Each structure stands twice: as structure tokens, then as C-alpha cells.
Structure 1
Amino acid sequence: MPQPATHTRIDQSLCGAPVALSPGRAVVRLTLAPAMAVDDRGLVHGGFVFGLADHAAMLAVNDPLVVLGAAEVRFTAPTAVGETLEAEASQDEDAGKKRRVSVTVRRDGQTVFTGSFTCFVLQSHVLDL
């Protein structure tokens, strides 16, 4: 598997670890930890699922200067502590600096999240702008 060119310092215990990476495509896996729970039943906060999907989208673009500009997402099923999620991202559009990436997050084959991410590849680091 090629090495990621972006998000190289991300905490993979919070945002997932890449398991497949190719041009325009990424698969990222995350096991949901007790610290992600919002209640005593183990319901996981959706922000962690979004973070996994965002990480997969960034890796599908895989440019050191990629940033997220917008996202349209849908949560289709709840997630719980102990479950392992897999996010599959594919780049659908490459128009100059703009990239559109579709992401589906699944648990054991069941879709729990879908999203369309608008990413931008900048000329310099976003903190330098």
C-alpha cells in the first residue's frame, strides 16, 4: 500500500487507520472506543463517525495541502462502542483545485453513514493563508 501524503500525524485511534490506498480511493478502518460513548449504553457520538469519513476523503485525494471545504452527510444507523467501522472513499470529481469525494461508512456490510465531501487542494498550507 502506498504511504499517505496527507494527514500523516492524525491520531488513528480517533479517526481510523488506512487499510487500502490507491489514486482517488481510500479505505479506512476504526474500532469505536469507550471514550467515544455519549451514554451508558455505548452509543457513539456521530462526530467520530464523521471524523473517520473525513479522514477517508482526505486520503482519497492524498495531497499534502488538501483541506475540507464542505460536506453533505447522512447518518443512517447508530453506532456503538466495540464496533468496527470501515469508510470507503472515492474521488468523483477533479476540477482544478476542487475535488468531490463520496464516502460510505459501513459496519459489517451495513451502511451507517454516507457523505459527499468537497475538498480543495491549496497552493500552500492553510495556516499560511
Structure 2
Amino acid sequence: MDINTHENIDRSLCGEPISVSEGSSEVRLTCTGNMSADGSGLIHGGFIFGMADYAAMLSVNHPNVVLAGAESRFLKPSRVGDILTAKAQEQEKDGRKHIVKVDVSCDGETVFSGTFTCFVTKEHVLAGA
């Protein structure tokens, strides 16, 4: 399936799409030193959240999809060198509103879980701005 959203995203920071299909996606991210929050190599949660958000956007795969809200839980720490996989699955669709569940794992263990509320706007959110 063609990717129709977030075409300019930096995939080195948000992940590389592995699969994209209607209502689902999979994204892989290698955690690098520039994502580290401290000298121990702990990955800042913002990068993991960004990856999960990107996976949610890809599962909707519309040029005007935006994030309206999220409930998320960080379950385990990630470190420099970890390879993370985000799997997104649409749970509900009501008109322009999409509810997407995203789980991020490393070596088979879930490190992050979230539910993302996405909307497809009638026009780009920056149109006319």
C-alpha cells in the first residue's frame, strides 16, 4: 500500500515503515545515541511516543490525519542499540475519528502501549494559516 501521510518525517527519529495496510501498520526504529537522555544510554520517551504516533498515523494513512489525543503507558526502559517495533491496529472508526491501539516491543517484550485518537480533517490543519 502506498504511504499517503507524513511524507517528510525523519524516519531515523520516528521509524521505518515495515508494512502499511488499511487500518494497520508496523514501524521499526533503531535507538541511537542522539536519542539518549543521559549517560546510561536511556532512550528519551519522546522518541518512543513519536514512533508510536507515526505508526498510528500510517494505520489511518490519509494526508490530513492529525493526532487529537493519546493515552499511553511506558512499561519498560529502552536503551541505545535497542531495535523497537511498533504495531498499530485501528480499533474503531466513526466518520473522521479513528481510535488506534499501538504496542511497541523490543525482543518480544512490550515497552510501550497506547491508544491514539486520530482525526481526518477536511483540509490540512495549516490550510489558510
Give TM class, smaller chain.
Answer: over 0.9
1:100 aligns with 2:87: no
TM-score after normalising by structure 1 = 0.97
- Residue aligning to 1:71: 70
Determine the structure 1 residue equivalent to 2:125.
Answer: 126
Unaligned runs of 5+ in 1: none
Once residues 31 and 110 of structure 1 are traced to their aligned partners in structure 2, the CA distance between those partners, rounded to angstroms, is: 15
Moved over 3 A (4+): none
Q: Which residue of 2 aligns with 1:80?
A: 79
SS at match of 1:114: strand
Deviations 1:49-74 (A, max 9, x none): 00000000000000010000000000
Corresponding position of 1:14: 13
Which sections of structure 2, spanning at least 5 residues, go unmatched?
none
1:28-68 Cα distance to aligned partner (Å, 9 max, x none): 00000100001111001000000000000000000010000
Name the CA distance, whole Å, in 1 between partners of 2:118 and 2:87: 16
For the residues of structure 2 that align with 1:51 and 1:118, how far apart are their CA atoms? 14
TM-score, normalized by length of structure 2? 0.97
What percent identity do the matched residue pairs reach? 52
Residues in 2 aligned to 1:19 and 1:40: alpha-carbon distance in whole angstroms: 30
- SS of the residue corresponding to residue 81 of structure 1 reads coil
Question: Aligned-residue CA RMSD in angstroms?
Answer: 0.7
The alpha carbon displacement at 1:3 in A equals 1.9
> Partner of 2:26 in structure 1?
27
CA distance in 2 between counterparts of 1:107 and 1:79 reads: 8
**Residue aligned with 1:124, SS:** coil
Aligned residues: 128
